[in-house]
Amino acid sequence: MRVRQIGWLLLPLVLAGCGGDKPPATLSVTCGGTVALVGARSIDVLGDQVNGRTIMTFPDPVNPGKTGTWSVAHGDRCSVTPVIGSGG
């Protein structure tokens, strides 16, 4: 997985926040064919690997004010999909 590719995927979400009253967008992440995260407002992909794994952090959608983390095994592919909400 390339950090730069994920950055390009997230760019439209950042730019979508510039404007009028649009419904909030969240992210759904699938890694290695398994849904890893649903409902995050943002995801940070850390450039430094820990034990050969890329670390991702996100504001926990279930526990407001908390930060969640998970690591992606080397060779696993992840896809980030924006999900437009119905309002908020």
Per-residue pLDDT, 9: 61
71, exposed or middle or buried, with CB in 10 Å at 0-12, 13-18, 19+? Answer: middle
The parent domain of residue 9 ranges over 3-84
* HSE value, Cβ hemisphere, 13 Å, CA-based, for 20: 0
Q: Is the pLDDT of residue 88 over 50?
A: no
SS3 15: helix
Name the domain count of the chain: 1
Q: What is the pLDDT of residues 5-64, one digit of tens each?
A: 666 666 565 555 555 555 578 888 888 888 888 888 888 887 666 677 888 888 888 888
Q: Are 30 and 38 in contact (CB under 8 A)?
A: no
Query: Where do runs of H (alpha helix) occur along 1-88?
Result: 3-16
